[in-house]
Amino acid sequence: MSTALTITLDENDFLALDAIAYAESLDPASYVRLLVMADLAARLSAQANDLGDLYAFESRADHDLADLPFGGL
What is the distance between the alpha carbons of residues 37 and 39, in angstroms, rounded to a whole number? 5
In a domain, 37, yes or no: yes
Tell me: the pLDDT tens digits for 18-39? 777 777 787 878 877 877 888 8
Q: What are phi and psi of 21, to 5 degrees?
A: -60, -40
Q: Do the domain assignments include residue 6?
A: no
- Nearest to residue 45, comparing CAs of 12, 10, 9? 12
- Reported confidence tier of residue 72, pLDDT bands at 50, 70, 90: very low
Q: Is residue 20 part of a domain?
A: no
Containing structural domain, residue 32: 26-71
pLDDT of amino acid 53: 73
**Domain membership flag for residue 36:** yes
Q: How many structural domains compose the chain?
A: 1
Residue 52 lies in a domain: yes
Burial (CB < 10 A; 0-12, 13-18, 19+), residue 40, is exposed
Identify whether 9 is part of a domain. Answer: no
Instruction: Please report whether residue 49 resides in a domain.
Output: yes
**Does residue 16 lie within any of the structural domains?**
no
